[in-house]
């Protein structure tokens, strides 16, 4: 899994990347905060995480891979990414992405 900040491509988020030789299959997907599993909300664990971090839900687009779903090699899937990063309330600085390391 990779965290990516690529401003020129408007990529601010966490992405699942399969760098293996063949397809990868999802057995289980869980979101953790402070070494604790984030509980599922109506729209999944990412919604709970965003709420727990007191962030604006409208600043994010989320995706949770389903059990058994496949990821082709070299395929990249977003798990959570910032949207409207140019808007003041959703700025990269305000939502905390600027404090994370660039990979």
Claim: this prediction has a pTM higher than 0.95:
no
Instruction: Specify the number of domains making up the chain.
Output: 1
Place of tokens 């990269």: 92
- Give the span between the Cα atoms of 19 and 71, in whole angstroms: 10
Q: pLDDT (tens digit, 9 = 90+) per residue, 35-90?
A: 999 998 888 898 998 888 888 888 888 888 888 888 888 888 888 888 765 567 77
- Give the span between the Cα atoms of 57 and 83, in whole angstroms: 10
Q: pLDDT (tens digit, 9 = 90+) per residue, 18-50?
A: 888 889 898 988 889 889 999 988 888 989 988
How high is the pLDDT of residue 37? 94
Supply the range of the domain harboring residue 56. 2-99
């Amino acid at each position: 899994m990779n965290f990516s900040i690529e401003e020129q491509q408007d990529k601010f988020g966490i992405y699942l990347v399969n760098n293996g030789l063949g397809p990868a299959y999802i057995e289980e997907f869980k979101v953790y905060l402070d070494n604790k599993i984030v509980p599922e909300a109506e729209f999944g664990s990412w919604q709970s995480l965003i709420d727990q971090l007191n962030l604006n839900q409208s600043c994010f687009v989320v995706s949770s891979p389903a059990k058994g779903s496949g990821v082709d090699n070299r395929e990249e899937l977003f798990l959570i990414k910032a949207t409207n990063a140019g808007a003041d309330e959703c700025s990269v600085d305000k939502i905390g992405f600027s404090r994370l390391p660039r990979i």
